[in-house]
Amino acid sequence: MYRMVDTGQGDFLRNGIELLLGNKKIFLADPIDDVKWIYVDKTAFGKLWPESPLDMSRKNYTIKASFRTRKLLFGGYAKASLISIEKLEENPIIRK
C-alpha cells in the first residue's frame, strides 16, 4: 500500500489543511471554467465511490454527482456540498 502526495496542482498548502480537516479532493471529469477540482467531506466522498473504480468498470456503471460551492474572497472555492447522485450505466473514467 502507498500514499500519493499531490504537489503539482498549485494548492499544496490548501490540500494539507483540507486533509487535516478530514476533507478529500475530487478532480472533476468535466472542469467548469477554472474549477478543476473541489473538496468534499469524507461522507460525500464515500458515496461517490461505493466500490473500486475497477469493480465499477467491470459492472459497467459510474456515478454522476452534482455539487454546490461558492467562490472564496482570496481565490479558490469553498468546500463543496453534495446535492445529488445518479447511477449511470457506462464505464467510469479512470486516470492515473
- The pTM (predicted TM-score) of the whole model is 0.78
- pLDDT score at 2: 42
| Residue 41 pLDDT class (50, 70, 90 cuts) | very high
Q: H or E element: which one contains 84? A: strand 81-88
Tell me phi and psi for residue 74, to 5 degrees: -100, 20
- For residues 49, 54, 55, 60, the Cα torsion angle rounded to the nearest 10 degrees is 90
pLDDT in tens, 43-76: 999 898 888 889 999 999 999 999 999 998 988 8
What is residue 47's DSSP assignment?
H
